[in-house]
Each structure stands twice: as structure tokens, then as C-alpha cells.
Structure 1
Amino acid sequence: MTTRWGMTVPLSGIPLADHAAVYRALDQAGFTDVWSAEVTGADAFTPLALAAAWAPRLRLGTAVTPVFTRGPGLLAMSAAALAETAPDRFALGIGASSPVIVQDWNAGEFSEPYRRTRDVLRFLRAALAGNTVDGAYDTFAVRRFTLERPPAVPPSLLLAALRPGMLRLAATEADGVILNWLAATDLPQVLGALGRRRAGFEVVARIFVCPTTDAGYARALGRRLITSYLTVPAYAEFHRWLGRAEVFDPMWTAWAAGDRRGAGAVVPDEVVDALVLHGSPQECRAQVQRYAAAGVDVPVLALLPTPELAAGEATALLDVIAGLGGGEPR
């Protein structure tokens, strides 16, 4: 079993104020990590700050914080505050995000994502070490910025990456890489593109799991997610690079024509099953283990809603967490 086992938080449908019990259950079930995502739900830092207080054994990570939606200084301050709150157990994952999130929802400019991500990574490395940053990067300039409260233990810096350019940047300048929307069978190609890595370099993968034995429900939900995400240009290019152009071309064509229902209908079951894991919690856990066996250091589960969870039984979520847990109860 991999030494680390993560869950994406916060869990859907549960108020943040009620997550103390969730964090305790994750810890007791053998989960070692909680990682936050930042799209339109909670911000990346608040759920982790709560976990820092409520579950002091869990490691915390962002997967990911966009590099365009906060200024470099504010991002450094947010990361420093959490690193101070949870010394030596916080990892900051950053990524380019997408034009929809950056431009349409946050009124920012999505320009030169590779260089912006590289520049923010370099700025954070210097700022979180307590250095004064004064100078121009390719995509922004910073004048005399010094953290008032630099963390005693700077967080590790991880980079979300899909294709070879960003993967190589992660391998050469970051402390780890965060992968998303890939099958376990894709890992040899992706990890091969990383090339030589630093000592201690960490591979994190976000993996969608739908712990239900209702395969029809899981595949319908999986198709909705696939058509929502993998029609985004960055993810479409990622899957072309992975060799799925032929299988996804009908989906992309239907989506471009405005046929959302038709786009989902042409995604084969076997592709859905490879990208959105389903079955009993124990079966999902076994499928996640294949990622670990292929080289993922930290599988991070993204728990999707199921009919069983929607039924609202008080113990249903706890049973699912226990079934998905990565090791011996702690």
C-alpha cells in the first residue's frame, strides 16, 4: 500500500462547519492527506485551515491554487499563513487553471500560462524562504516584497502539469507534480515525460471515484464530467497527446456543434470506467491502488455523489470513507 492516501475536501453537501467529523473519520480510516481544489466552491485555504485545527495528523495540500486569480504577494501570504498554522505538513500546489475560471469568473487575463506558472513558482520559492523579492519576471514585476511572517518551514511547492513542457518544468523546478484526469494506464507515458527528478520529488494524482455498484448511474455521471472537463482545450490536448484523439473526436465534434447530449453518448463505457472509477468502496480502493503501483506517491480521491449517499443514512458516508481508506485504521 502506498504510504500516503488522500481525499479531496471539502466533501460535497456537507457544510464546512460540520467537517470536523469528516476529518476525524478520514484520519481513523487510514487517510494521511486532505487536498483542496479551487473552482467555484470553497477557496483552497479555508478547508485546510480547519483541518489544521481539527485533525493535526493529516497532511494538507492545495490541488490546485490558480496562479492568475491571486496576486503573487497575496498567494505567498496565504501559503505562509497555512504553513505557519501546520508546520511541515502543508504542500502548496499551483497551476495555470483555465480561461473560464480566470477570465469568465474572475475577470482576469489568461495569458502565457506556462510562463506565468513558471514565474509564480520562482517567486514563491524566493518569497516563502523569507527573501526580499525585487525585480521583473517575464509576466509580472514585484517591487520590494518581503513576507512579514515567513514560515519557519516553507511549504513544498508542487506544480499541476499535463503535457511535456509543464511536466519538465515540474521535474526541474518544483518539489512535485499534480496529475489529473488520467487513467492508471496513462502513467508510464506521463511519468516518462517528467524525465529525471529531484530527490524527494512527489507525484500526486487526483482520481475521481464514484463508490456505487450502480454502474449505469456512475457512467452517466462520468460522461457528464468527461464532457465538461475534457472539452476544455488544455485537457483536450492532453488526451490527444495520450493517444485518445480517435476515441474523443466524436465527442469534441458534437460538443463544438452544441450537441451536449450527443457528446456524452459517444464516449465508450471503457473510457468512462478508466477515468471515473466505480464499484463498491473496496473495489474503488483496489482500482486506486493501480495508480500507486504505477508510480503515484499520493493518490488523492475525489469523492463523487452516489445514490447511496443521497439516501441520507447517517452512517453511509462513514461507511464509504472506511471502505475507501488506504490502510490500517489509525
Structure 2
Amino acid sequence: MGNVARLSIDRGIPSDLNAVPARAREIEQQGYDGCWTGEINHDPFLPLLLAAEHTSRLQLGTSIAVAFARNPMLVAQLGWDLNSYAQGRFILGLGTQVQAHIEKRFSMPWSHPDRRMREFVAAVHAIWDTWCNGERLSFEGEFYRHQLMTPMFTPEPQPHGVPKVFVSAVGDLMTRVAGEVGDGLIAHAFTTRRYLDEVTAPALQAGLDAAGRSRADVELSCPVFVVTGETEEQFAASAAAHRKQLAFYGSTPAYRKVLDLHGWGGLHEELHRLSRLGEWDTMATLLDDEVLETFAVVAELPDVAEALVRRCVGAIDRVLPGFPAGMSEAAIAAVLDEVRSRRATVNANADG
């Protein structure tokens, strides 16, 4: 799996378009390798256009854009234009969302998500191949059919190639799809190191083997919760906030398999029951220190960098550390500088 030598450190970027230019410049100046947007209550693509305009080095990705709320042609066009404008720095991160949102919020069809995602990515690549090579568009699959592309609707050639495509996955079937057709896998924040090692890694490798690819062909991107603080009060507040967030994720049936792996299926059932009653504060009290430390890096500030590297090495290639709210940029910078120092040392030793 991944190694510290190629560990990229990423950060989220705000959805408020007015805040994007200054924040993107700041993230690049702070030495981050990439920034990501999510599709929650705003469009995930628009902020990246502004981020591309106001940066020159930072990689820019969607984590995630909801694939099934769109069709491959629309996504291919968005990806082509953003990658062209960003001069090759755009990463198209795609995810499925869950059935209720696809059908009831987006009014789009839902079926066989793993097969549909595999075909969605293949269709996007087929469209890009037509634009790159001038070959006739002829894609016909189980869910998508693209067979018309005239010169008027073909974008101008551009020298930056096509975006990398990352696929978001939790379960083994979608993880295998990422290994088959993706340039990367986006793991969910509600993931433990054991789950990465025992479930994600084998499923990803199975997909890579099926496609005749190697682990070096993909990047595994994963957010990591960080419980720490510059003061005892901040540490305690960080732990409380993360317990509450983890309790929310743990109440969701889609993520039960992570708890099941650790023998905590009963915890999911109780969290789910309480969530239906709206007992959000009570839910957080059910997560003891063992659960918190399994899902998050929990460390005093001087030890965070070492703990973060230990969580990532051998599993994660791109990490998005979730530092506590209110933690100073100076403290964050010190942690990340130490992580980068460890990465540089490994690379120097390899070169030597």
C-alpha cells in the first residue's frame, strides 16, 4: 500500500465562492499539495475554477462530485474544461451518494451502483478519447449510451491531457471498481487503519489485478480525524466534537460494516436507534476512548506528526488531516512541517 515517501498533504476549500480566491492562495502558500471540495450544500466544481485562477501549483479535486446526479457527457465536459484551465491540475473525484438522495433529491435512477460507476468512468474516458484522438464516439453499455459527437460539440484540443479520476468507496465492491478503472480511491473519513488493511487493501488489489495494474498506478486518499489541542480545554473540546461526528457516521447503516469489523455492531444499532429519536448528544457519550482512538489520531500536539505518519504509512498516499476547530495556523504548520520533513528524509535516503 502507500508509503510516506509519496504522502501528499491536502486540505479542504470553502464552498463560499467569495472566500475561495484568498483561501486557495493561502493553502498553496502554506505548502499543501492539493485542495478538495465536497458536494454538500453547494456545487463542487465552481470553487475549483476560482482556485485554479488564483494558484499555480496546487492540485484541485472534487471529493466528491455525485456521479449519478449527472451523466458522463456533462462530467466529461466539466472535467475537460477545468483540467484545461488548471493546466493539468484537476482531479475528478466521483462518488455515488446513497439511493434515497439519488432518487428523492436528484430524481435520478439508482441501480447496481458498482456496475454503474464502473461504466460511468468508462463512458467518460470514451468521450475524452474521442476528443483527444478524433475517433468516432461509440459507447454502448448497460446504463449509458453515447454515440453522437460532431465537430461543433467537440472542444478545442488542449495540451494538458485528461484529468485523473478518483472513485470514492467504502465497501469492497466499489473499492474493487476503483482499482479497475480509477487513478485513485477516496476512502471515507469513517475508516480505521484495520479496515484499510483488511478490507480496503485486498479489494483494491483485486481490482488492480483484474485490470492488470499495480498498486503504484493508484493513489489512496483519505481524511483523518485529528484529536489534539494547544491547551487542555482545546484538546477536550476536540475530543467531544469528534465523538459527536463519529457517532453520526456510526449511526448510518452504510458505514456499519466498519464497526462490524471491530465487533461493534451493537454500537451501530444503539446509535441508529438514538438517531431516529434525535438524541445526538446522548449518542456521543457512547463512544469510549478505544473507539475514538481507533477512528482518530489522538495525540498531544508534539506527538501529532509522528502519530499521523504512523496512521498513513503503508496505507494512505494522500491525507487530509482534520485538525480541531480553533487550532492556530502556526500550530498546524508546525505539525505539517514535521510530516514533510519525514517525507523529505525518506525521499533523500531513497535517492542516496
Alignment TM class, shorter chain as reference: 0.7 to 0.9
Question: In structure 1, what is the equivalent of residue 340 of structure 2?
Answer: 327
TM-aligned CA deviation for residue 121 of structure 1? 1.0
* Paired position in structure 1 for 2:24: 23
Q: CA RMSD in A?
A: 3.0
1:203 to 2:220 alignment: yes
Letter matched to residue 178 of structure 1: I
Match of 2:316 among 291, 296, 300: 296
Counterpart position of 1:170: 178
Asked if the contact 1:128–1:150 (Cα under 8 Å) also holds between the matched residues in 2, the reply is: no
Q: Secondary structure, in 3 states, of the residue corresponding to 1:144?
A: coil
Summarize deviations over 1:255-287 as a string: whole Å, max 9, x none: 345543433321223222332445566544433
Q: Deviations over 1:22-66 (max 9, x none)?
A: 3333333331111222111x4222222222222211112222111
Return the offset for 1:208: 3.0
Show the counterpart of 1:312. Answer: none
The separation in 1 between residues aligned to 2:335 and 2:24, in whole angstroms, is: 14
Q: Is residue 67–residue 96 contact of structure 2 (8 Å, CA) maintained in 1?
A: yes
Q: Sort the Cα spacing of 1:302 and 1:43 in 2 relative to 1 into closer, same or farther, 3 A.
A: farther
Out of 211, 215, 238, the residue aligned to residue 218 of structure 1 is: 238
Distance change >3 Å, CA 293–CA 4, structure 1 → 2:
closer
Alpha-carbon distance in structure 2 between the residues aligned to 1:300 and 1:223: 19
Instruction: Please report the TM-score for the alignment, with normalisation by the length of structure 1.
Output: 0.83
**Count of matched residue positions in the alignment of Structure 1 and Structure 2:** 318
2:197 paired residue among 188, 191, 201: 188
Deviation string 1:49-108 (CA, Å, 9 cap, x unpaired) is: 222222211112222111112222111111111110123322211111123543444333
Instruction: Tell me: CA distance 1:111–1:150, structure 2 relative to 1, closer, same or farther (3 Å).
Output: farther
Q: Distance in 1 between matches of 2:11 and 2:106?
A: 23
- Report if aligned partners of 1:8, 1:303 keep a CA contact under 8 Å in 2: no
Q: Is the 8 A contact 2:10 2:318 kept in 1?
A: no
Equivalences for residues 57-136 of structure 1 within 5 A: 57-129=57-129, 130=131, 132-136=136-140
Give the secondary structure class of the aligned counterpart of 1:31. Answer: coil
C-alpha contact 1:168 1:193 (8 A) present in aligned 2:
yes
C-alpha distance in 2 between matches for 1:95 and 1:182: 16
Identical aligned pairs, as a percentage? 22
Superposition deviation, residue 192 in structure 1: 2.5
| Structure 2 segments unaligned to the other structure (5+ residues) | 345-352
> How far apart, in 1, do the equivalents of 2:154 and 2:224 lie?
35
Q: Distance in 2 between matches of 1:229 and 1:135?
A: 38
Task: Give the whole-Å Cα distance in 2 for the aligned partners of 1:49 and 1:281.
Answer: 35
Between 69-78 and 231-240, the greater mean CA deviation after superposition: 231-240
Summarize the Cα distance change of 1:141–1:211 in structure 2 as closer, same or farther, 3 Å threshold: farther
1:5 and 1:299 in contact (8 A); partners too: yes
1-side partners of 2:166 and 2:62: how far apart? Answer: 9
Q: Is there any run of 5+ residues in structure 1 with no aligned partner, and where? A: 310-315
Give the residue type in structure 1 aligned to 2:319.
Answer: P
Deviation at 1:182, TM superposition (A): 1.0
Change in Cα spacing, 1:242 to 1:67, as seen in structure 2 (3 Å) is: farther
CA radius of gyration, larger in:
2
The whole-number CA distance in structure 2 between the counterparts of 1:165 and 1:291 is: 24
Flag the 1:105–1:224 CA change in 2: closer, same or farther, 3 A.
farther
